[in-house]
Amino acid sequence: MSQENEVETTGHVWDGDLQEYNNPLPRWWIWGFYASVAFAIVYWFIYPSWPVAGHFLTGFDTVTYVNNKGEKKTVHWNSRAELMANMNQYAAKQKPYFDKIAATPFKKIKADPGLNDFIASSGRTLFADNCAACHQAGGQGKIGFAPNLTDDDWLHGGTYKAIQQSIVNGREGVMPAKGLDPNMTDKQATALANYVLSLSGEPHDATLVAQGSALFHGAAGCFSCHGANAKGNQLIGSANLTDKIWLWASSPGAQTKAAKVEAVKQVILTGINDPNSIHKGVMPAWKGRLSGEQIKVLTAYVHDTLGGGE
């Protein structure tokens, strides 16, 4: 009750007797407020702050960094310069490794346990960020999408050089629908599919193999890319049809003979990246996105760590 006599009221009186106290703010709050004002003023002097005549006060704090041309620059503090300095700092830590990798031929990288560890850990991150979306986390690939990188079957070659080329420039698989025979009938495609399955010892209808083989080596023109022995050609990226490794026709997934024939037949009839059908089998080029050293790390990772290299 004593407060009534000490504290001022706001001066309003409602309904004849209703009044409101006008208590001052607590002292700690007032001082906190003044302290933050003082902090702001100091902050303006250190960091970029007020706009002035088309530019802004830049503040006294500076950041020093080195750009890609090797020029050392000192500029007023800003987040982009800070990033440059930060990148410099970590690049310096990684430099001994990357320099060594750039200077070391692939075979020696493989033989060097220290570099091998670096490849395994940095390659793993690069692979997860960039490659795993299609080739999956362990490089096991995805049927109907992206090839398995851990096996010994390579469309465009599994040497260091070929893998590096694939990453740098990307790849685009091409197979014309119905081969070179635009008038191919459904029955002919079935015969071809049976022949193709026979090449790798998959279940097939033996009575159709002769007809399929004639088409393969004749009118359908399959031999011109896949070779007369059907073993494929890595120079043009045509698949080896004599092994049991499938990328487009999900043959291992197809349980029955009929399903296997159907899967292979579909690939023959629609082709891969045929101008008139579905666009698939495209690996993007990474040269613009990844540095030369990063690509070298990835190449070594795919070849050695994932273990499919030739």
The binding site for other proteins (CB under 8 A) comprises 48, 50-51, 54-56, 65, 67-69, 73, 75, 78-84, 86-87, 90, 129-130, 132-134, 137, 142, 145, 276-284, 288-289
Pick between residue 27 and residue 55 the one whose CB is nearest to other proteins.
55
The long-range contacts involving 230-237, CB below 8 angstroms and separated by at least 24 positions, are 230/196, 230/199, 232/155, 234/154, 234/155, 234/156, 234/157, 234/162, 237/155, 237/156, 237/171, 237/173, 237/174
Q: Least separation, in Å, of the C-beta of 49 and other proteins? A: 10
Q: Least separation, in Å, of the C-beta of 290 and other proteins? A: 10
Pick between residue 5 and residue 276 the one whose CB is nearest to other proteins.
276
Pick between residue 195 and residue 246 the one whose CB is nearest to other proteins.
246
Pick between residue 157 and residue 284 the one whose CB is nearest to other proteins.
284
Q: Least separation, in Å, of the C-beta of 257 and other proteins? A: 26
Q: Least separation, in Å, of the C-beta of 108 and other proteins? A: 27
List C-alpha distances in Å: 62 to 27, 45, 198, 208, 219. Answer: 37, 12, 72, 78, 73
Structure token pair of residue 94: 């990684």
Structure token pair of residue 214: 């004639």
For tokens 């106290």, the residue is: 21
Q: Least separation, in Å, of the C-beta of 204 and other proteins? A: 29
Pick between residue 281 and residue 309 the one whose CB is nearest to other proteins.
281
First-to-last alpha carbon distance for the chain, in angstroms, is: 93
Residue 101, Cβ neighbours under 10 Å: how many?
A: 22
